[in-house]
Structure 1
Amino acid sequence: MRWGVRECAPHRFRVYAVRVIDAATDSDERLRRLEAVTDAALSRLDVDDLLAELLDRVRELLGVDTAVVLLLDAHARQLVATAAMGLGDDFEAGLRLPIGRGFAGRIARDRRPMVIDDVALDGDTSPLVRGRGVQSVLGVPIFGGGELAGVLHVGTIAPRAFTPDDVRLLEMVADRASVATHSRAGNVDRTTALALQRSLLPTALAEVSGVEMAARYLPGHDAGVGGDWYDVFALPSGWLGVVVGDVSGHGLMSAVVMGRLRSALRAYALVCADPADALQHLDAKVHHFETGNLATVLYAMIPPERDRIHISVAGHPQPVLVDPSGRAELLTAPTDVPLGMGRPATGRRTTVVDFAPGALLVCYTDGLVERRHESIDVGLERLRATVWPGQPDEVCTALMLAVGEERPSDDTALLAIRRLGPPAQPEPQVILAAAFDRAGVALLRRQIAEEAARHGMAADGVDDFVAAVNEVMTNAIRHGGGAGRLRLVSVADDLVCEVRDSGAGFPAESFLTRQERPTPSPVGGMGLWIAQQTSHELQIESGPAGTLVRITAAR
């Protein structure tokens, strides 16, 4: 501090000294108010309230009449009026100003503070600058992450010569506003990304013949929304396309890239009969149109019979296949490089595995199995220990509960597909089993009649069923070596009698397809025709080792 003793008379010195002391006192007051501006309690406000409170405190801090924040719309190259204090009706929220035009536009273009002592001498006619009769203005750029985020300017109705201290103070306030605007942009991006991502992830999967499916999506709590997705679609050929993928990074851009890859892969699936070919095309698309992005993708195709899975893996975690017995194993399909890595990959590979009735395929992104301070092998083992070949929705719920014990820092997409099979046939209940010859036929007829009556069959039905069995046993004695074996079983609500002999066999198809009553002959045929007419169903298996006739009683 220079007191200027030599230059000043005593009276002027006192005045000078008083002004210095006053300035020091004023500086202390400004420091106190600056602490109010940077108060940590402001961070508990939502963004709009925070900006309003911040501008209100700025007016008091600098002793100004108006304060305005304009945020940058980078795509339009415009500043957008976002918040203001002191302008009243002269403030129009959403007003757009081109970069480079007017007071605020020149600050954004030059990226440095600007002061206008008399706005009447400036060509800017914006109400944001001249509103309420403002005479002098000071403005500074707002930066976020080293990039321009907007402009903050203040004004006074009385003429004022803003000082370098005023500029520095307003720059510090702009830094505080930057935190708020950065948070606002992050919240908007996160909300938009989540909305985009969920719009591309169906809440309910379509019903598809031969399989049942379920899926889940869980956003990570640390990095926010990312580029994870799942997709299932039926192709015109009857094949089923199954996709699970993960675009690197987080936030809105990852979600946008994810949406583009999802749409592109669906298009390639229409013209590619092999999963590896479709991923080859998608890889070229990433290299050419999505430069700098990486993605891991699993693409599987399941034929109309649903008996196999054709799968190609681009850097993605291997799916788990659970067989009907409950054994869960990671597929051993070869893993090719992720999409967008290095030069476009050539020779991507497809692996074909069996998909047995009752088996379950579980596809997922790495958020399901990765944890901080834990080997991924632990997560994979936890996955294998949790799944079973049950209802896909129940399996997904169990996996989400396992994840919920320690919510992942990364997004999680999960898709489970179970192959349906023919309904399990009930085990037959054996009622009667005996060998017979000519002498034993009468006894077996009586036993069969008793069991049929006990089964609830009407008297006429009993007579028809016994007559059919009698004809078949007689045929077995006559053409099957003089003896045979009989088994009477109950299958669900049906009563079935099986008669087996050890004869040379005969062309059974010609007997079963005959429509007219046969003419009696030494070759026979009348007995089988009678049995067919008096039963609900007659099945014959005949060959060199013998003949099996299965008679189902009429209902």
Structure 2
Amino acid sequence: MTGTGLSSGEGRLRRIELVTDTALAHLAVEDLLDELLERVRSLLHADTAAVLLLDPSSSFLVATAARGIEEEVRQGVRIPLGKGFAGRIAAERRPVIIEQVDHSNVLNPILREKAIRSLLGVPLIAEGAVLGVLHVGTLTTRTFVDEDVEVLQLAADRIASMTRTHLNQLDRAAAAALQRSLMPGKLPTTAGLEFAARYIPGDAGGLGGDWYDVFTLPSGRLGVVIGDVVGRGLQAAVVMGRLRSALRAFALEEDDPAEVLERLDGNVQHFEDGVMATVLYAIFEPSMDRVTLSTAGHLPPIVATPEHGAALVQVPVDLPMGVSVGPPRRTTVVDLPPGGLLFLYTDGLVERRKSSLDVGLELLVGTVTVDEAESVCTRVLGRLVGSDHVADDVAMLVARRLPTDRVVPLDVVLPATPRALGDVRSALRRWLGAADAPPEATADMLVASSEACSNVVEHAYGPGGGTMAVHAAREGDEVTVTVRDNGQWRSARGEGRGRGTTLMRQCCDEVDVTTGVAGTTVTLQRRLVGEAG
């Protein structure tokens, strides 16, 4: 069989109109591909038509849509870039014609099994980038002519353009959904600290890999992160999600921010080929008066205090994630007095094409003031962004240490289980630090309250379980902690049992245990000055 024979101007125009019909623009990408493939198959009198798109790694072509041999899609055919018929088209960015299919020129076994004799394929190119391949095949030997190539390339250009648009939309939607799922939906409520954060997607090609995170640590410390994965779109957001999870895991095992970033860098270099990211990781001590931090190529944070105002922290900047093996990473200790705040941000906030980075940093430092965290975010965005469009994503996180007189009482309700004891201890340690309790008083109240909570876990409930409620408040120079349950206590069993009250009295100035039909309440009081007991 020879060419299609439609060589007149009228026939060629009809082909172009059929392939480029603007009515296709409203279709979803899957329906669009199916409709275009059916039209292409009809126009070229072909038996099969298929689209293969490059996977995110750009290493394989994956069968995405097919008409005539749908098995290609259902079986997830993958063709290595540069190999076989389709792989050659994508790698060489040019049409390829095969008049007689055999094992030497076609890798896809389905085409051979279905007795496809001849193939014509062209690259899908949009905005200078190869997206994939469009090919047609016939069950009889066919000599494809230049006009066939022209029509197929026209269809490919149409598919590439519309697919790029649809994929960009899907990419942005998926990245936005992923970003929302990974960003803290609600920043944690932590005694002594006030948080506020913002994330603004940039205009240049959808979302990217900017993120922030706040999480508690078993030691009672608080981890704070801000980072930026180089790149844009869904792929950057996916990498960001993996880095966020890996950093959290390493933070559970290491107390030094530099060691956490060192381990994260090893993870990136081993598992994330070609990825680069900047990350700043900081840890608030339970007392909230000190922050230890380390930065992997990230811009320096700003600290603002009531006494000295705002300034960039003089922190050594180590290599970004994924660059190369460098010198050991370093940790910096920053003092944060009551009322002071730590301001973290990504480069999209301060980098502008028409001005230097120093100008942006100077403007930012001049804008950050000691104020409520939400007010700081609003003021910074109003001055540095205003009504302008930002080309790059912007992430920012403000952590403000509250004045001691503004520390709110602690209230937690947890299951009366052994696992919850560590959570209570961490929460109480953070609260005592925020309440400016000295080390000795903190240690005593932790011992006494842990004993009270342990007694609830062991004695208050039967197999059905229950809850324990812990409340802590400071009034003047005295701290009061109450531990309540609504169970019916069982008598202590075994040698050496039932000594918890004695231990609590040794650590506190006053201990009161009230038991009734509604449960038991243990009240612990400790002065923050002088000796207990």
> Separation in 2 of the partners of 1:93 and 1:264?
36
- Aligned partners of 1:107 and 1:151 also within 8 Å: no
* TM-aligned CA deviation for residue 143 of structure 1: 3.5
* TM-aligned CA deviation for residue 38 of structure 1: 5.0
Out of 326, 335, 339, the residue aligned to residue 317 of structure 2 is 335
* Residue 108 (1) aligns with residue 115 (2): no
Q: Secondary structure at the match of 2:8?
A: helix
> Separation in 2 of the partners of 1:125 and 1:301?
56
* TM-aligned CA deviation for residue 135 of structure 1: 11
> Separation in 2 of the partners of 1:424 and 1:146?
57
One-letter amino acid matched to 2:301: P
* Residue 375 (1) aligns with residue 353 (2): no
Which residue of structure 1 aligns with residue 380 of structure 2? 399
One-letter amino acid matched to 1:98: V
> Separation in 2 of the partners of 1:113 and 1:160?
10
Q: Secondary structure at the match of 1:318?
A: coil
| 396-405 or 357-366: bigger deviation | 396-405
- Flag the 1:77–1:322 CA change in 2: closer, same or farther, 3 A: closer
* Residue 288 (1) aligns with residue 288 (2): no
- Flag the 1:409–1:227 CA change in 2: closer, same or farther, 3 A: same
> Separation in 1 of the partners of 2:254 and 2:377?
30
Q: How does 1:3-42 map to 2 (within 5 A)?
A: 26-27=8-9, 29-31=11-13, 33-34=15-16, 37-38=19-20
- Aligned partners of 2:122 and 2:152 also within 8 Å: no
* TM-aligned CA deviation for residue 55 of structure 1: 4.3
- Flag the 1:81–1:407 CA change in 2: closer, same or farther, 3 A: closer
Taking structure 1 as the reference length, the TM-score comes to 0.59
* Residue 149 (1) aligns with residue 132 (2): yes
* TM-aligned CA deviation for residue 378 of structure 1: 3.1
* TM-aligned CA deviation for residue 382 of structure 1: 3.2
- Aligned partners of 1:276 and 1:350 also within 8 Å: yes
One-letter amino acid matched to 2:132: A
Matched residues, number: 389
Taking structure 2 as the reference length, the TM-score comes to 0.61
- Aligned partners of 1:211 and 1:419 also within 8 Å: yes
> Separation in 1 of the partners of 2:116 and 2:216?
68
Cα distance per residue 1:125-174 (max 9 Å; x no partner)? 989x98xxx99975424444665724332769x99865342233213322
Which residue of structure 1 aligns with residue 50 of structure 2? 69
Cα distance per residue 1:79-98 (max 9 Å; x no partner)? 545265xx7xx968953363
* TM-aligned CA deviation for residue 46 of structure 1: 5.4
Out of 331, 343, 352, the residue aligned to residue 333 of structure 2 is 352
> Separation in 2 of the partners of 1:99 and 1:357?
59
* Residue 364 (1) aligns with residue 345 (2): yes
- Flag the 1:150–1:96 CA change in 2: closer, same or farther, 3 A: farther
Decide which structure has the larger Cα Rg and report it: 1
* TM-aligned CA deviation for residue 237 of structure 1: 1.3
The alignment's C-alpha RMSD in Å is 4.2
One-letter amino acid matched to 1:394: S
* TM-aligned CA deviation for residue 415 of structure 1: 0.6
Q: Secondary structure at the match of 2:266?
A: helix
Q: Whose RCO is larger (CA < 8 A, sep 6+)?
A: 2
Q: Secondary structure at the match of 1:288?
A: helix
Q: How does 1:413-428 map to 2 (within 5 A)?
A: 413-423=395-405
Structure 2 unaligned residues grouped into runs of 5+: 90-95, 102-107, 408-475, 477-508, 510-533
Out of 249, 255, 261, the residue aligned to residue 279 of structure 1 is 261
Out of 212, 218, 229, the residue aligned to residue 236 of structure 1 is 218
> Separation in 1 of the partners of 2:365 and 2:305?
12
* Residue 305 (1) aligns with residue 287 (2): yes
Which residue of structure 1 aligns with residue 155 of structure 2? 173
* TM-aligned CA deviation for residue 220 of structure 1: 1.1
Cα distance per residue 1:98-147 (max 9 Å; x no partner)? 357xxxx9743564334579xxxxxx9989x98xxx99975424444665
> Separation in 2 of the partners of 1:255 and 1:306?
31
Which residue of structure 2 aligns with residue 483 of structure 1? none
- Flag the 1:269–1:25 CA change in 2: closer, same or farther, 3 A: closer
- Aligned partners of 1:363 and 1:415 also within 8 Å: yes
Q: Secondary structure at the match of 1:271?
A: coil
* TM-aligned CA deviation for residue 355 of structure 1: 0.7
Which residue of structure 2 aligns with residue 199 of structure 1? 181
- Flag the 1:309–1:160 CA change in 2: closer, same or farther, 3 A: closer
Percent identity (aligned): 44
Cα distance per residue 1:422-455 (max 9 Å; x no partner)? 2279xxxxxxxxxxxxxxxxxxxxxxxxxxxxxx
Out of 250, 256, 270, the residue aligned to residue 252 of structure 2 is 270
Q: Secondary structure at the match of 1:345?
A: coil
One-letter amino acid matched to 1:268: F
Cα distance per residue 1:38-71 (max 9 Å; x no partner)? 5788667653464456446546754x47774333
